[in-house]
Amino acid sequence: MDSNSNTVVVTGFGPFRQHLINSSWEAVKEMSKLGLGENIDLHIMQLPVSYQKAKELVCKIWGTPQPLLTVHIGLASSSKAIILEQCGKNKGYREMDVCGFCPEDGCCLLDGPEKIESTINMKTLWKNISVEGIDIVFSRDAGR
């Protein structure tokens, strides 16, 4: 990765189940209208709710455009808060995606690590941000 990169990639997800319009993607589209400042090259991408296709697209992000930062925005329909996830888990996926696929043994990457940690300290971020009228929560137990 180019350490002088000013590129930030933000992803949201496409439709799934009863969510014909995924609010994560709607939020990302709104963010692109606002931008992240004149010195940040913001790229947005919609990820399909497909294990295989999402994996392929996320891998491509790190090849080109070699971003400084990538942020994945997800939808938890039962949540009333913004949840800052410190890690992502590799196992425990039992739901079929939009293509009717479910990973073998519930594992996304058979040779992958049990979890991946963000290099950003989400707990510190959580302690230092606030948005009026919106609950923001820190979590080490990423949903699936």
pLDDT for the residue 4:
58
65 or 140, greater pLDDT: 140
**pLDDT per position as a tens digit, 76-86:** 778 888 889 99
Distance CA 16, CA 38 (A): 34
Instruction: Please give the average per-residue pLDDT across 8-19, as a whole number.
Output: 93
Tell whether the model's pLDDT for residue 127 goes beyond 60.
yes
Instruction: Please give the average per-residue pLDDT across 99-114, as a whole number.
Output: 92
**pLDDT per position as a tens digit, 32-54:** 999 999 999 999 999 999 999 99
43 or 141, greater pLDDT: 43
Tell whether the model's pLDDT for residue 6 goes beyond 90.
yes
pLDDT for the residue 1:
46
Q: Where are the domains of the chain?
A: 1-75, 76-144
Mean of pLDDT over the chain: 90
Instruction: Please give the average per-residue pLDDT across 63-91, as a whole number.
Output: 88
Q: In degrees rounded to 5, what are phi and psi of residue 43?
A: -115, 135
Measuring CA to CA, how many Å separate 1 from each of 5, 53, 111?
8, 23, 23
Q: In the chain, how many H helices and how many E strands?
A: 3, 7
Distance of CA 56 to the CA centre of its chain: 14
b/e code 50-61 from CB counts within 10 Å (16+ = b): bbebbeeeeeeb
Measuring CA to CA, how many Å separate 120 from each of 61, 71, 86, 97, 140?
18, 11, 8, 28, 13
Read off the pTM.
0.86
Decide: 82 and 23 in contact? Cβ < 8 Å.
no
